Amino acid sequence: MICFEDDVVICPNDGNRLIFSMPGNRMILDKYRLDALIGRGRMGSVYRATQIILMREVAIKVLSTQLFNNPNAINRFRTEALAVAKLDHPNIIKIYDYGTLPSGGAYMAMKLLKGYPLAQEMAFVRQMPFMRILRIMQPVCAGISVAHENHVVHCDLRPDNIILDNVDGQELVQIVDFGIAQLREISNSGTLYSVHTGAAEGAPSYMSPEQCLGEKLYYTSDIYSLGVILYQMLTGSVPFDSPIGADVALQHIKTPPPFASQRRLYVRPELDQVVIKAMEKSPKKRFSSAMELLEALECALKASEEDFLQAMQKVKRPIKPTAELDKNTNPLNPEMLQIIRDSIEKGEKGSAITSPLVTPPFKSPELVTTPNQEFSKIVALVVDDDIDIVETFNAIFESVGIQAITATDGEDAWKKAKQTKPHLIISDIIMPNVDGWQLFFRCKVDPLLSEIPFIFITGRDIEEEKVVALEQGAEDYWIKPFVVLEITVRLKRLLKRINKNLG
């Protein structure tokens, strides 16, 4: 969204009536220029802005105009700034500046994050892989642990407040929105105590029982919220759900959470117990710290992952070199098999046919025809750090007559996809920096790239991962080693559809 001056009531770009956001001009005390509205929350609006003196992009959170004359709101806004400013940790949003406005409001300048909330990834992958859960929970627990050590209770931990950002090609998990955080002070006797708000605030699905009751909140309230987030990542749903917030709160207070193993296979009993202990009704029975939770969680997740991999190993077909078409790792259905055999017969008469791949490492097939001009307008992006795979696809693309661009990792691919907007993306799953799943999620949440057909390639014949990929909108899922002839036939079908949409 774009900001305009107060006297502009109709958007000059699309003619729609503008929504009132913040009075005054786009400057904050001649220090920051507001460039675009990012979003609105309970306490105010967040803008993408430019810090004039350093010419760097920042995020500016401005207290809502309706709260300018509310002393409690201004004090809470200041409390958020103080809470985050005292926390110096890579997994917690960084505060650069705080100040008041002549109009009576207040603002804070923060690091501008360009990632997406965990909630978006959870929407695409309802039951997240065990090791993906661990990679997210490790930095979240580390950040929350530092907050607790500095006597800050977040009070509003939920997937929307965990941002998956990218810095120098590496994923960086950041905890944001300490809007209702509580600073626990130390009394003269050395005892810690918390501010009692007397009201239940937060997202009902993630609130602790004591938070639902409006009681004093301690570190263990955040532990409970982490347990709910963990449960949702494991099962695809929160433990307690209802369209009525009061019903959800009542369940948090009285109802034991169901075991995650009842909703997902391969969840070990010890993983169930980690979730249950984090979500104990009594704060004293929960984990005493975020790091204690993480220590128990690491072992339990790794054990569940091992069970899953062993189960997949037992049910999957043995992988053998594809010396002949009928020995393909993934047998074709009769219709596809007949199509390929027909193609082979035609190939003997001079048609375009590529030979099956025999064994890894992959080698480019010899082409026996000139490129097909039918698909010359189509651009495909291949993402893999294996040069043999890249050369194989380049040969296939040349044989069918489409243009190809390549990338060695997800971050490189993301930049090229934004620059060229390809018509097809084929990506390995396991790659350095941004992996195939992260690239897939980025494309799906980007309006310009969300409709591009996305094909996963992988050496892991894991049925659950394949089903998840197809359920979340992947075009196809190809398992190495390939039969080049088979994927060429599949590719041609897809290219005809893409070409029809282009026409």
Tell me the C-alpha to C-alpha distance, in Å, between residue 185 and each of 92, 97, 191, 286, 288: 20, 23, 8, 22, 19
* Strand, helix or coil for residue 78: helix
Name the token pair of 439.
Answer: 């690239």
Interhelix angle 463-471/290-315, rounded to 10 degrees, is: 100
Name the token pair of 102.
Answer: 């002549």
- Residue by residue, DSSP assigns 310-338 as HHHHHHSPPP---SSGGG-SSPPPHHHHH
Question: Which of 269, 277, 159, 296 minimizes the C-alpha distance to 224?
Answer: 277
Euclidean distance between CA atoms 440 and 471, whole angstroms: 13
Parallel/antiparallel/unpaired status of strands 106-111 and 170-175: unpaired
Tell me the C-alpha to C-alpha distance, in Å, between residue 391 and each of 322, 383, 410: 19, 11, 18
Question: Which of 171, 177, 135 minimizes the C-alpha distance to 157?
Answer: 177
Q: What stretches of 355-454 show up as alpha helix (H) in DSSP?
A: 387-400, 410-420, 436-445
Parallel/antiparallel/unpaired status of strands 379-383 and 403-407: parallel
- Residue by residue, DSSP assigns 409-429 as SHHHHHHHHHHH--SEEEEES
SS3 content of the chain, % helix, strand, coil (to 5): 40, 15, 40
Euclidean distance between CA atoms 62 and 44, whole angstroms: 5
Question: Tokens 């050590």 belong to which residue?
Answer: 149
Parallel/antiparallel/unpaired status of strands 454-458 and 424-428: parallel
Q: What stretches of 50-129 show up as alpha helix (H) in DSSP?
A: 71-85, 118-124
The secondary structure of residue 365, as a DSSP letter, is P
Contacts 24+ apart (CB under 8 A), 52-60: 57/112, 58/32, 58/96, 58/109, 58/110, 58/111, 58/112, 59/109, 59/110, 59/111, 59/112, 59/113, 60/28, 60/32, 60/34, 60/107, 60/108, 60/109, 60/110
Q: Residue 502 corresponds to which amino acid?
A: L
Beta partners for 407?
Answer: 383
Enumerate helices (H) and strands (E) in the chain, giving the number of each.
14, 18
Residues taking part in catalysis: 156
